Amino acid sequence: MEQKSLAKSQNNMPATDSVMGNIGMSREVAEIQASVFMARQFPRDEERALTRIIKSCQNFNFARQAVYQYAKGGTNIEGPSIRAAEMLAREMGNIVSGIHEIEQSNGESVVQAFAWDLETNVRSEMIFKVSHVRHTRNGDYTVTDPREIYEMVANNGARRKRACILSLIPPDVVDTALEECSQTVIRYTQVDEETTAKLLEAFKKYGVSQKMIENRIQRNYDAIDAYQVNDLRKVYTSLKDGIGQVDDFFDTSVAESQKPIGEGDKPKKKTSQKKKDEKESPEESEKDSESSEELFEGGGLD
């Protein structure tokens, strides 16, 4: 009797799985239909949406990480960061987006990134592969840790998701948001000793030295202004998001012994005892590195 009962139970398992799968699909279809219906019933007010976008861009903590920059063909190209794209989709309303890992096998993941305007029924999607290999200066190695694989998929997927979202947002809205973010950062940026010190610490983990920064801004680092600090924030966002590499923005051949741009025969500014102590103490350097991340990043993994 027990064997017959067990056999009967095993024969019913595929049918049960099939039923549960059908229920899941039916629920997903119902949710999509409900979302489309609500989007048609409550269409977006573009003027109010733009007002909300501008208000978000006037927040300094958001604005400082909203723009990335990279070099291409000798010119600097700027664009909205991942978080900026997500904000635009949220404030415009009736737009859903996401990342789905379709398959994971043979050391790679097949991933889908998408954005869908429920109101106009316009959908943008990308399907791509993420190889489970991490590239470092010391060579490449295969990633096997599930958490590292998740982070690789999430980071690569977030960039594709941003592209999908931006394909649905009117270009003039994007330009207005970027300009407002730049003005906000410049308005609230204080160029003082603490800010410039944290700036250097933030770039250290990418191997960017003070001489490399001075070569980029074409002046002594002590003479940096708010516009250049804002420019370096965009570069930092690009490095953090994986948009560009260090040699896209800085001349890596600049030697540490090179004289700072514009210093010439001018007398050097006296370095405070506090800065000397910071250079001599590794513990203080680590603390500064942590505070620099708070200054520039302000967020976790997408």
Asked if residue 302 belongs to a domain, the reply is no
Q: Which of 176, 209, 228 is the last residue of a domain?
A: 176
What is the model's pLDDT at position 274?
45
Q: Say whether both 218 and 292 belong to one domain.
A: yes
More reliable by pLDDT, 15 or 121: 121
Q: What is the pLDDT of residues 7-60, one digit of tens each?
A: 444 455 555 556 665 666 677 777 777 777 787 778 888 999 999 999 999 998
Q: Tell me which residue range forms the domain holding 45.
A: 22-176
Contact 76, 140 (CB under 8 A): no
3-state secondary structure of 67: strand
User: What percentage of the chain reaches a pLDDT higher than 90?
Assistant: 30
More reliable by pLDDT, 95 or 227: 95
Residues 6+ apart with CB under 8 A from 262: 218, 219, 220, 223
What is the model's pLDDT at position 295?
42
Q: Say whether both 290 and 198 belong to one domain.
A: yes
Query: How far from the centroid of its chain's Cα atoms is residue 144's Cα?
Result: 24
Helices 282-296 and 226-241, packing angle to 10 deg: 90
Q: What is the pLDDT of residues 155-199, one digit of tens each?
A: 999 999 999 999 999 999 999 999 999 889 888 887 888 888 888
Mean pLDDT of 253-279: 48
User: What percentage of the chain reaches a pLDDT higher than 70?
Assistant: 73
Please say if the pLDDT value at position 214 is more than 80. Answer: yes
Please say if the pLDDT value at position 262 is more than 80. Answer: no
Please say if the pLDDT value at position 238 is more than 50. Answer: yes
**Residue by residue, what is the 3-state secondary structure of 82-105?**
HHHHHHHHHHHCCEEEEEEEEEEE
Instruction: Give, in degrees to the nearest 5, the angle at Cα 286 between 133 and 146.
Output: 25
Contact 239, 206 (CB under 8 A): yes
Q: What is the mean pLDDT of the chain?
A: 77
Q: Say whether both 129 and 107 belong to one domain.
A: yes
**pTM across the whole model:** 0.63
Q: What is the pLDDT of residues 136-150, one digit of tens each?
A: 777 888 989 999 999
Asked if residue 16 belongs to a domain, the reply is no
As to burial, measured by CB atoms within 10 angstroms (0-12 exposed, 13-18 middle, 19+ buried), residue 67 is buried
Asked if residue 235 belongs to a domain, the reply is yes
More reliable by pLDDT, 278 or 132: 132
What is the model's pLDDT at position 72?
66
Q: Which of 144, 176, 208 is the last residue of a domain?
A: 176
What is the model's pLDDT at position 191?
82
Q: Say whether both 94 and 202 belong to one domain.
A: no
Q: Say whether both 147 and 42 belong to one domain.
A: yes
What is the model's pLDDT at position 242?
77
- Give the C-alpha separation, 200 to 139, whole Å: 27
Asked if residue 185 belongs to a domain, the reply is no
Total number of domains constituting the chain? 2
Asked if residue 77 belongs to a domain, the reply is yes
Mean pLDDT of 259-263: 45
